[in-house]
């Protein structure tokens, strides 16, 4: 007799969803429930003799039970969006596994399962988490209940059921009739639980027999039974699984096709089910075999004639991918790999790098031929050394991957891409072509085409130009500062050691803690911590403390900035060339490294003075700063559509003074500097979802006062609160938030059981649309400014972006036109409900341009 496994699809995917933490694949699609379901399914298949398998599902439509009892399942909330979005994914997987699905309007999955389980030609195994199905147990049918989420299975045959309940399985219906079922909102008899119900059934065997002998039952129990007699019999009907559902199903269609085919492996790979993917016994072919099948025709190009033939093909059949490593990989399909063999030494066969680039130059510069590349910007710098200027439509695999992963890290290198897409590591170009097709389609589906085509891709040229041009430093002042700092550090180190009374490494927190708390016996309230807060609290106790604070400050200025700049500066041009990364942050903000020019100190005077070394590269040139004013607060007004905020910005009202007036309940003219300072903290804190505790720390007030400020803020700007609630609700329903230009960020933390993580998720849901949109806006402005400079053939250059601020190295004769372009482009780059405002300042250095 064949074994027929009948799976309750809704029960298993629900249990899997709540048993596992939320997971998303690289495209931001939720997958934890599907993964859990797969784990149960594959375990069943590999550990048992499964001949036939089928999955039954509920439909949204009401069933005959709803018609009998309006409150049936009425207490149930709708399926969470994070789970609902996985139902079609699960069904897609089952289709690939060739496992049939059954669902029928008007009936529940239980009824379909019950009907199928009446089949006498097979041994039936029902896999579910729902105890209702226990009534279906007979000599031919077992029920396997999932326990502890999905980690355990309890197998109920007739013998085990009698052992547990002391009843025949069919009496599960009577048990439910008496005790009810809160999960389905079946009422039962009020006040009767499982223990009492079992005692009654052990004595009277059925509900009907209980009521036939009701006079034998005494006291309150009799009263309860009599009072709820009607409900008891209704509950029995509701709890009875219909085993006569009108379904016609050919059991041969349930024959299991196992091991699974390569399509299932592709599915597991797409959703990053790596543990399942690596189980060789699940697939007809191993992953190695799949990669072998994926192996495309490989052509090794070793002669000039072969190159000419390849280039001729590429001119007529594009787009094409090209990747440079120890050889050059080229392909215009996912099924063929052309490898141009480069010389590894003077004697080896092949071409030199210079020779091949010279041959490839015309096609790389051809504006009419689309090219697919892996991270364009560094490649542009590389090719520039060989006088090659990449041109035409280009698709950047890494940039697309970054946008699609919605806040997750993109692939680090091409080998990681091959691994993700199940390509052999030698088939680089064909893998990139496959990725191109998939990524381009996904960008269209997620409405990211404008973000990619109009913002992120054209920004590459802007950043390339900024990196290439660089920022000039006053080299002599840099050397002088380094010398002065080194001298001061030496002097401070000696003074600290003298006061300590012994030699030690001042830079070692452990050794410093030993000196302060063991030798000098200073108060040790923070378990040997020597952070700045602890040191400042001890500053009046011992003279060594202020020396240590000073030492750390100067050491940081020297090592983090001065030494870093000296290491990176071009000794001939005195320029530093930072590297801008547009594929790192989760909000779309740019980052700067080698060296970092976005973290130049601005608050403390000594640190701010470092800005004086950043100067113009032109003789008599100037540094121009253009800074968006309160862009995120303005975007809050736009997104929330709050009338008072919009009025304030449209009428050039000081927003911090206006907020102070509202939260302190005083006229505008009575707002003092301290009130305005506190209101400013409230305004910016709201954007980041600040708590009353966080605000109290920021403005040095009590939590009660901070809470009152936040409450008064929301009373004053009611639509802001409404927007914040809707933003969090959108994130919970969709699993992500997005900017004005559809930049997405997945927020898994919103569904965490950890309170702090969940709160963090809510703060992200509030801030990312604002910060992400601000990032998109300034990127658009940078593109327009770069294009305008180019169009007017200006000598001045855009050289740095520091979040909401753009820095231009301006030639003296172009200063006025630059100021006009910056103002016009930045303020009009997007039409909002409120105006964008840009503050422009000019100076001899970055310091002067910010004063």
Confidence band of 557 (pLDDT split at 50, 70, 90): very high
Helices and strands, number each (H, E), in the chain: 38, 23
Considering only residues 335 and 642, tell me which one the structure prediction assigns the higher pLDDT: 642
Report CA Rg, the chain. Answer: 35
pLDDT in tens, 731-743: 988 889 999 999 9
Q: Which residues pair with 623 in a beta bridge?
A: 809, 843
Confidence band of 843 (pLDDT split at 50, 70, 90): very high
Residue 654, CA atoms < 13 Å, CB-side half-sphere: 14
Instruction: Please say if the pLDDT value at position 421 is more than 70.
Output: yes
What is the architecture, at CATH level 2, of domain 631-740+749-768? Orthogonal Bundle (1.10)
pLDDT in tens, 456-469: 999 999 999 999 99
Domain boundaries, the chain: 2-254, 295-446, 447-474+574-630+741-748+769-851, 484-571, 631-740+749-768
CA distances from 527 to 467, 533, 538, 609 (A): 45, 13, 14, 36
Confidence band of 9 (pLDDT split at 50, 70, 90): very high
pLDDT in tens, 664-708: 999 999 999 999 999 999 999 998 888 888 899 888 889 999 999
pLDDT in tens, 762-777: 999 999 999 999 999 9
Residue 533, CA atoms < 13 Å, CB-side half-sphere: 4
Q: What is the CATH number of domain 295-446?
A: 3.30.420.10
pLDDT in tens, 260-303: 887 888 898 888 888 887 775 777 655 555 555 556 788 999 88
Instruction: Please say if the pLDDT value at position 410 is more than 60.
Output: yes
Instruction: Please say if the pLDDT value at position 719 is more than 70.
Output: yes
Per-residue model confidence (pLDDT) at position 286? 52
Mean pLDDT of 652-662: 94
pLDDT in tens, 226-271: 888 888 998 898 889 999 999 988 999 999 988 888 788 889 888 8
For 528, other C-beta atoms within 10 Å of its C-beta total: 14
Q: Which residues pair with 328 in a beta bridge?
A: 324, 340
Mean pLDDT of 557-578: 96
Instruction: Please say if the pLDDT value at position 407 is more than 80.
Output: no
Per-residue model confidence (pLDDT) at position 345? 63
Per-residue model confidence (pLDDT) at position 561? 95
For the chain, what is the mean pLDDT? 91
Per-residue model confidence (pLDDT) at position 178? 92
Q: At 495, which helix (H) or strand (E)?
A: helix 475-500
Tokens of 106: 């008007």
Tokens of 573: 């041009």
Per-residue model confidence (pLDDT) at position 270? 85
Instruction: Please say if the pLDDT value at position 826 is more than 80.
Output: yes
Confidence band of 516 (pLDDT split at 50, 70, 90): very high
CA distances from 746 to 25, 438, 695 (A): 10, 20, 27
CA distances from 481 to 242, 478, 569, 849 (A): 86, 5, 15, 21
* First-to-final CA distance of the chain: 87
Per-residue model confidence (pLDDT) at position 657? 94
Burial class (CB within 10 angstroms; exposed 0-12, middle 13-18, buried 19+) of 21: exposed
Tokens of 794: 């200006």
Q: Which residues pair with 96 in a beta bridge?
A: none
Least reliable range by pLDDT among 114-118, 180-184, 709-713: 180-184
Look up tokens 């800005």; give the residue: 611
In the three-class reduction of DSSP (H, G, I as helix; E, B as strand; rest coil), residue 630 is classed as coil
Fold designation for 2-254: Rossmann fold (3.40.50)
In the three-class reduction of DSSP (H, G, I as helix; E, B as strand; rest coil), residue 114 is classed as helix
pLDDT in tens, 46-88: 889 999 999 999 887 777 787 787 778 776 777 888 899 999 9
Per-residue model confidence (pLDDT) at position 226? 87
Fold designation for 484-571: Taq DNA Polymerase; Chain T, domain 4 (1.20.1060)
Considering only residues 188 and 624, tell me which one the structure prediction assigns the higher pLDDT: 624
Rounded to 5 degrees, φ, ψ at 558 are: -75, -50
DSSP for 195-229 reads HHHHHHHHHHSSHHHHHHTGGGS-HHHHHHHHHTH
| Whether 81 contacts 733, CB under 8 Å | yes
Per-residue model confidence (pLDDT) at position 280? 59
Per-residue model confidence (pLDDT) at position 353? 87
Q: State percent of the chain over pLDDT 90.
A: 67
Correct CATH for 447-474+574-630+741-748+769-851 of 3.90.1300.10, 1.20.1260.10, 3.30.70.100, 3.30.70.370: 3.30.70.370
Per-residue model confidence (pLDDT) at position 524? 84
Per-residue model confidence (pLDDT) at position 187? 87
Instruction: Please say if the pLDDT value at position 602 is more than 90.
Output: no
Per-residue model confidence (pLDDT) at position 384? 94
Least reliable range by pLDDT among 13-17, 135-139, 279-283: 279-283
Per-residue model confidence (pLDDT) at position 732? 87
Mean pLDDT of 370-381: 96
Mean pLDDT of 176-183: 86
Per-residue model confidence (pLDDT) at position 334? 79
Query: d(Cα 699, Cα 679) in Å, to the nearest integer?
Result: 9
| Whether 493 contacts 485, CB under 8 Å | no
Which residues 6+ apart lie within 8 Å of 305 measured at CB?
none
Per-residue model confidence (pLDDT) at position 525? 80
Rounded to 5 degrees, φ, ψ at 7 are: -105, 130
Instruction: Please say if the pLDDT value at position 223 is more than 60.
Output: yes
């Amino acid at each position: 007799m064949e074994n027929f496994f009948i799976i309750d699809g809704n029960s298993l995917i629900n249990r899997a969803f709540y048993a596992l933490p939320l997971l998303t694949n690289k495209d931001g699609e939720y997958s934890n429930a599907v993964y859990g379901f797969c784990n149960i399914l594959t375990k069943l298949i590999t550990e048992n003799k499964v001949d036939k398998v089928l999955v039954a599902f509920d439909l949204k439509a009401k069933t005959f039970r709803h018609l009998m009892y309006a409150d049936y399942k009425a207490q149930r909330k709708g399926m969470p969006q994070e789970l609902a979005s996985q139902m079609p994914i699960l069904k897609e997987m089952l289709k690939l596994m060739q496992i049939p699905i059954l669902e029928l309007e008007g009936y529940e999955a239980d009824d379909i399962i019950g009907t199928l389980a009446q089949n006498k030609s097979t041994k039936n195994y029902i896999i579910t988490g729902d105890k209702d199905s226990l009534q279906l147990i007979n000599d031919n049918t077992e029920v396997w209940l999932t326990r502890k989420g999905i980690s355990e299975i309890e197998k109920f045959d007739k013998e085990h059921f009698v052992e547990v309940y002391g009843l025949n399985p069919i009496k599960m219906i009577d048990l439910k009739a008496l005790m009810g079922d809160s999960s389905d909102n079946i009422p039962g008899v009020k006040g009767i639980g499982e223990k009492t119900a079992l005692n009654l059934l052990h004595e009277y065997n059925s509900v009907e027999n209980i009521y036939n002998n009701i006079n034998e039952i005494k006291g309150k129990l009799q009263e309860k039974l009599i009072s709820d007699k009607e409900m008891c019999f209704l509950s029995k009907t509701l709890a009875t699984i219909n085993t006569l559902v009108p379904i016609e199903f050919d059991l041969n269609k349930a024959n299991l096709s196992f091991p699974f085919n390569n399509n299932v492996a592709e599915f597991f790979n797409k959703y990053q089910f790596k543990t399942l993917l690596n189980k060789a016994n699940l697939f007809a072919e191993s992953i190695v075999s799949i990669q072998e099948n994926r192996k495309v025709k490989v052509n090794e190009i070793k002669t000039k004639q072969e190159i000419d033939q390849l280039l001729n093909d590429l001119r007529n059949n594009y787009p094409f991918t090209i990747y440079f490593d120890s050889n050059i990989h080229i392909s215009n399909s996912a099924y063929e790999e052309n490898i141009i063999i480069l010389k590894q030494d003077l004697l080896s066969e092949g071409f030199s790098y210079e020779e091949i680039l010279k041959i490839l130059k015309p096609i790389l510069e051809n504006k009419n031929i689309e090219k697919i590349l892996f991270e364009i910007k560094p490649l542009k710098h590389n090719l520039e050394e060989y006088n090659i200027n990449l041109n035409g439509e280009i698709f950047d695999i890494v940039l697309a991957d970054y946008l699609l992963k919605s806040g997750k890290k993109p692939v680090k290198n091409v080998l990681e891409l091959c691994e993700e897409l199940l390509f052999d590591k030698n088939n680089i170009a064909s893998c990139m072509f496959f990725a191109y097709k998939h990524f381009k389609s996904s960008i269209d589906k997620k409405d990211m085409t404008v973000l990619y085509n109009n913002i992120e891709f054209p920004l590459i040229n802007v950043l390339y130009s900024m990196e290439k041009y660089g920022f000039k430093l006053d080299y002599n002042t840099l050397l002088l500062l380094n010398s002065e700092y080194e001298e001061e550090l030496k002097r401070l180190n000696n003074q600290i050691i003298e006061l300590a009374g012994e030699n030690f490494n001042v830079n070692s927190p452990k050794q410093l803690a030993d000196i302060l708390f063991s030798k000098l016996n200073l108060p040790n309230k923070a378990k040997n911590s020597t952070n700045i807060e602890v040191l400042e609290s001890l500053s009046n106790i011992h003279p060594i403390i202020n020396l240590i604070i000073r030492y750390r400050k100067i050491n940081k200025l020297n090592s983090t900035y001065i030494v870093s700049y000296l290491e990176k500066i071009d000794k001939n041009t005195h320029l530093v060339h930072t590297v801008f990364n547009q594929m790192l942050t989760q909000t779309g903000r740019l980052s700067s490294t080698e060296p970092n020019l976005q973290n130049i100190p601005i608050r403390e005077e000594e640190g701010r003075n470092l800005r004086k070394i950043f100067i113009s590269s032109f003789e008599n040139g100037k540094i121009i700063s253009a800074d968006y004013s309160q862009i995120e607060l303005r975007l809050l007004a736009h997104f929330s559509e709050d009338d008072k905020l919009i009025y304030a910005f449209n009428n050039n009202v000081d927003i911090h003074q206006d907020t102070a007036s509202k939260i302190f309940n005083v006229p505008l003219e009575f707002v003092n500097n301290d009130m305005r300072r506190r209101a400013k903290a409230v305004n910016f804190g709201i954007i980041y979802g600040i708590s009353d505790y966080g605000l109290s720390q920021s403005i040095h007030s009590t939590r009660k006062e901070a809470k009152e400020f936040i409450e008064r803020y929301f009373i004053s700007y009611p639509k802001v609160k409404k927007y914040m609630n809707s933003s969090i609700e959108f994130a919970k329903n969709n699993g992500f938030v997005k900017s004005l230009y559809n930049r997405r960020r997945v927020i898994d933390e919103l569904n965490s059981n950890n309170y702090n993580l969940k709160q963090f998720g809510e703060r992200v849901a509030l801030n990312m649309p604002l910060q992400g949109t601000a990032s998109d806006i300034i990127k658009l402005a940078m593109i327009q400014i770069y294009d305008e400079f180019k169009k007017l053939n200006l000598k001045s250059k855009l050289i740095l972006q520091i979040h909401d601020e753009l820095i231009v190295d301006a030639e003296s004769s172009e200063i006025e036109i630059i100021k006009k372009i910056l103002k016009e482009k930045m303020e009009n780059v997007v039409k909002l409900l409120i105006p964008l405002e840009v503050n422009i300042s000019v100076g001899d250095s970055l310091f002067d341009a910010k004063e």
